[in-house]
């Protein structure tokens, strides 16, 4: 059971879980509670603010573990969990959670790193050859890999990212050898079949999750070694200004997923063109209120602006990956 979830009160766990379900699903659950329970959870929900991704995942894991332990004898707990989460969260939202829970519990070797926190992964690979680190990071999700990269020595980051960008087909034997080394550390045993990793798109995906200052430094360092490679990586990146290339319907879909406060902070660092693009895809009243809130907002740290913009870009990329919108800018070569 998650230690992090254990430290959260039962009411807060319930509130976070209900918020993650969405309004319609949460309403269906609340119908089965008595008024006192609804009032108690509703009060906590009203106080929730800026709940971290890690906290939400911890609560969801806690819920699934509890449900699994209470499943009736003879019930396939994996199938039960899969059906339950898909029904509650929808296929798209549940997919990542299901993978982390059902696949992660048995992960060993190279795959086990996917379920470790970034600091732990960095500790495991920091003394390895840069090529090994590049292969490992190429197997991680981009945001996870970015966190690991930031924990590596500064002088190693550029070398590792360049190697990631140049990776293509890694011989299965090499992957199996790497997997065996990791298995010894974790006393596991598994086989590796996948051999195609890395590339400029993977490198660009990792850079998309790194703060602007570090991203610029790494990109500049790569350009000094290989200007053409740097240009290819930049061509695969998706930045905030690329939202101008999203059609109006796609922009409206994105905005439905973005919190108002998050959008205000992101727009503090955006030029007037992108601001108008966003305002034009709101109702007149909503756009007017957003303009007023933007003017009333005090100074915001550049770091906070970058984080808010990257969070919105992550939403856009998730919607594009699921086929709900089409990104027209850099980093999106899958649509015509």
Instruction: Please give the pLDDT value at position 254.
Output: 92
Question: Residues of CATH 1.10.220.30 domain(s) within the chain?
Answer: 110-236, 240-321
- For the domain made up of 240-321, give the CATH fold: Annexin V; domain 1 (1.10.220)
Give the closest residue to 165 by CA, choosing from 217, 231, 256: 231
Instruction: Please give the pLDDT value at position 70.
Output: 57
Rounded Cα–Cα distance for residues 96 and 176 (Å): 25
HSE at residue 202, side-chain half, CA atoms within 13 A, is: 24
Instruction: Please give the pLDDT value at position 144.
Output: 83
For the chain, how big is the Rg over CA atoms in Å?
Answer: 22
**110-236 CATH choice from 3.40.50.300, 1.10.220.30, 3.60.21.10, 3.40.50.10860:** 1.10.220.30
Rounded Cα–Cα distance for residues 10 and 237 (Å): 41
Question: pLDDT tens per residue, the chain (336 residues)?
Answer: 445 556 677 788 888 888 887 777 777 777 777 666 777 777 777 777 777 777 888 888 877 777 666 545 444 556 656 666 666 666 655 555 555 555 444 445 666 677 677 888 888 888 888 888 888 888 888 888 888 899 998 888 999 999 888 887 666 666 776 776 666 655 443 433 334 557 888 888 788 778 777 888 888 888 888 888 888 887 777 778 888 888 899 999 999 988 888 899 999 888 889 999 999 999 999 999 999 998 888 888 888 888 888 888 888 878 887 788 887 544 344 333
Rounded Cα–Cα distance for residues 219 and 282 (Å): 35
270 Cβ neighbours under 8 A, 6+ residues apart: 240, 241, 309
Rounded Cα–Cα distance for residues 276 and 107 (Å): 47
DSSP string, 233-274: HHHH---GGGGGGS-HHHHHHHHTTS-HHHHHHHHHTS-HHH
Instruction: Please give the pLDDT value at position 110.
Output: 65
pTM score of the predicted model = 0.46
Q: Is 101 exposed, middle or buried (0-12, 13-18, 19+ CB in 10 A)?
A: buried
């Amino acid at each position: 059971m998650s230690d992090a979830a254990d430290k959260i009160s039962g009411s807060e766990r319930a509130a976070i879980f209900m918020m993650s379900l969405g309004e319609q699903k949460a309403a269906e659950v609340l119908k089965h509670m008595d008024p006192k329970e609804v009032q108690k959870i509703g009060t906590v929900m009203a106080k929730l603010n800026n709940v971290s991704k890690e906290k939400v995942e911890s609560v969801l894991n806690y819920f699934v573990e509890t449900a699994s332990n209470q499943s009736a004898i003879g019930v396939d707990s994996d199938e039960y969990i899969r059906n339950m989460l898909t029904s509650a969260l929808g296929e798209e939202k549940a997919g990542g959670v299901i993978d982390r829970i059902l696949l992660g519990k048995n992960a060993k070797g190279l795959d086990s790193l996917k379920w470790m926190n970034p600091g732990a992964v960095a500790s495991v690979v920091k003394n390895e050859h840069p090529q090994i680190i590049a292969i490992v990071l190429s197997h991680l999700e981009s945001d996870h890999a970015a966190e690991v990269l930031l924990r590596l020595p500064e002088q190693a980051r550029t070398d590792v990212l360049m190697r990631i960008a140049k990776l293509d087909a890694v011989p299965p034997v090499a992957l199996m050898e790497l997997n065996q080394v990791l298995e010894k550390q974790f006393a596991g045993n598994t086989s590796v079949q996948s051999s195609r990793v890395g590339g400029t798109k993977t490198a660009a995906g990792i850079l998309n999750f790194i703060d602007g200052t570090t991203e610029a430094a790494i990109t500049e360092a790569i350009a000094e070694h290989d200007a053409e490679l740097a240009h290819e990586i930049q061509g695969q990146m998706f930045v905030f200004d690329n939202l101008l290339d999203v059609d109006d319907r796609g922009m409206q879909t994105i905005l439905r997923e973005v919190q108002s406060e998050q959008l205000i902070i992101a727009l503090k660092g955006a030029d007037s063109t992108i601001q108008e693009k966003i305002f034009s895809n709101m109702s007149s009243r909503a756009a007017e209120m957003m303009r007023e809130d933007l003017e009333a907002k005090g100074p915001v740290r550049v770091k906070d602006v970058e984080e808010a913009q990257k969070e919105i870009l992550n939403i856009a990329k998730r919607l594009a990956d699921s086929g709900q919108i089409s990104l027209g800018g850099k980093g999106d070569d899958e649509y015509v």
